[in-house]
Amino acid sequence: MINRWLLVVVAVLVSLSACSSGEDEASGSRPANSTLAATNVSLDGVVHIADAWKYRAVRGSTTTDIDLQLPTDRVAPERFAWLDKLAETADGAVVILDSYASRAEGRCTEGREVFVHVFSLPKRKALFERLVASCVEGTAPPQPYASVAAGILSIGAERFLISADAVTQK
């Protein structure tokens, strides 16, 4: 009987966590398709390990940590907001959109700094970083922030060819 109740509680918690993101998507504070956790196949996130910020990718039983260079004068990484995995290529390039609270005082106390990062899982390194929206700089974000189709990363009018080896502007 206790096991059945435990299963019911777990099922309810899982369904509630799937429905509640903690942020209002209609307010534009995060993209409607963003996630903090991924599917049962993969898990992507930002973690703090030994005084360094890392992008962490878990694929099955393999965990890959890659250094994530964040401008801590501008962002408060400990106030991580959301991560959206835009794409993963067959050769292991991962494109993410990640957001953090702005560190600046005044008008940016509730502001966000939003980045596009591309990581190579096989090489275990960052290949590309672009600030796409910034309260600190007053940068208006492109809409959408970024998109990926057929191995091409689009940020506003710019296009980049992505692979696990390199990111090159088209």
pLDDT tens for each residue of 64-76: 999 888 888 888 8
Residues 6+ apart with CB under 8 A from 23: 29, 30, 81, 82
**Cα–Cα dist 38/83, whole Å:** 10
Asked if residue 26 belongs to a domain, the reply is no
- How many domains does the chain divide into? 1
List the domain range (segments joined by +) for residue 136: 71-169
Residue 64 lies in a domain: no
Q: Is the pTM of this model over 0.85?
A: no
97 occurs within a structural domain = yes
Q: Quick check: is 133 in a domain? A: yes
Range from 7-11, 40-44, 164-168 that averages highest in pLDDT: 164-168
Eight-class DSSP state of 134: E
Tens of pLDDT, residue by residue over 101-148, are 888 767 777 788 999 999 999 999 999 999 999 888 888 888 888 999
In a domain, 17, yes or no: no
Quote the pLDDT of residue 96: 93
Residue 51: inside a domain, yes or no?
no
